């Protein structure tokens, strides 16, 4: 970390976790963005957001472009093999579809044979791939990969996909922003994953980040930020 500055790779296309206040420019806000600022304030340093694409987050960290990723990434085995992470939020995949189809998707098997949109290189996309190798092996989904979550929404609204997969945190927000066009289906996937704040494997600030996040949790700061973005404060109860 540069002296006096905390740099964080972030893709501001993922409301309510990180997004532009003015839609496409201006300040970056959201749970993750505010969390980065809170952590920087906790340490008495300035924040530097390094904007990148979602699939460029981990490469950015590993190349030294930024000090950490606080940006809606699951603590998957694959990521933990190449980076350290401290838990910050409980989450899980959710399925969004048209309101007319929402009642027809209530379990994972209901996705078999459908066309499902996902953000490229995400853990949600990996969940669909695993389902195709397992329960849907005899009637596989067509998985459409898109660089941005907004494109997965358009795929469903425009009839290019039957459904999309997104985290439960973002899915509820996307439903409210597309009322009448999108609806969250039943509890298709369990809430059994955790968002993490990633740092370089065995890096110099990994322990400090974990301790800083725990302090923000103990002080109620993370819960306050969650509530500001209409998120259930209990999702930060990861300790």
pLDDT in tens, 190-224: 888 899 999 999 999 999 999 999 999 999 999 99
Same domain, 99 and 177: yes
Within 8 A by CB and 6+ apart from 62, the residues are 82, 83, 200
Same domain, 80 and 151: no
Same domain, 12 and 35: yes
Same domain, 61 and 12: yes
Same domain, 14 and 85: yes
Cα separation, 75 vs 62, in Å, equals 16
Percent of the chain with pLDDT over 90: 82
Same domain, 11 and 123: no
| pLDDT tops 70 at residue 1 | no
Same domain, 105 and 68: no
pTM here is 0.77
| pLDDT tops 70 at residue 76 | yes
Cα separation, 236 vs 61, in Å, equals 24
3-state SS of the chain: helix, strand, coil percent to 5?
35, 25, 35
Q: How confident is the model at residue 50 (pLDDT cuts 50, 70, 90)?
A: very high
**CATH (domain of 9):** 3.40.190.10
Predicted local confidence at residue 227, as pLDDT: 92
Same domain, 20 and 130: no
Same domain, 49 and 161: no
Other C-beta atoms closer than 10 Å to the C-beta of 36 total 25
> How many folded domains does the chain comprise?
2
* Three-class SS state of 9: strand
Sign, Cα dihedral of 14, 110, 107, 181: positive
Same domain, 79 and 153: no
192 φ, ψ to 5°? -130, 20
Cα separation, 195 vs 89, in Å, equals 5
What pLDDT, in 10s, does the model give residues 144-190? 999 999 999 999 999 999 999 999 888 888 998 899 999 999 889 98
Cβ-contact 90, 164 below 8 angstroms:
no
Cα separation, 187 vs 21, in Å, equals 30
Domain coverage including residue 35 = 5-91+193-236
Same domain, 199 and 81: yes
Same domain, 121 and 142: yes
């Amino acid at each position: 970390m540069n002296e006096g500055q905390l740099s964080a790779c972030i893709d501001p296309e993922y409301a309510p976790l990180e997004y532009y206040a003015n839609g496409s420019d201006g300040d970056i806000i959201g749970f993750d963005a505010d969390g980065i600022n809170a952590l920087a304030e906790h340490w008495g340093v300035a924040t530097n957001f390094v904007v990148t694409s979602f699939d460029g987050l981990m490469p950015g960290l590993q190349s030294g472009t930024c000090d950490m990723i606080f940006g809606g990434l699951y603590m998957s085995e694959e990521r933990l093999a190449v980076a350290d992470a401290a838990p910050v939020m409980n989450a899980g995949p959710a399925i969004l579809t048209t309101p007319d189809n929402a009642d027809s998707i209530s379990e994972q098997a209901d996705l078999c044979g459908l066309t499902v949109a996902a953000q490229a290189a995400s853990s949600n996309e990996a969940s669909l791939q695993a389902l195709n190798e397992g329960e849907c092996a005899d009637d596989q989904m067509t998985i459409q990969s898109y660089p941005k979550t907004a494109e997965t929404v358009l795929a469903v609204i425009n009839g290019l996909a039957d459904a999309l997969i997104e985290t439960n945190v973002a899915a509820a927000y996307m439903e409210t922003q597309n009322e009448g066009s999108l609806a969250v289906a039943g509890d298709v996937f369990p809430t059994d994953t955790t968002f993490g704040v990633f740092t370089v494997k065995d890096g110099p600030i990994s322990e400090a980040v974990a301790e800083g996040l725990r302090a923000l949790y103990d002080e109620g700061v993370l819960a306050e930020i969650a509530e500001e973005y209409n998120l259930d404060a209990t999702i930060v109860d990861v300790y």
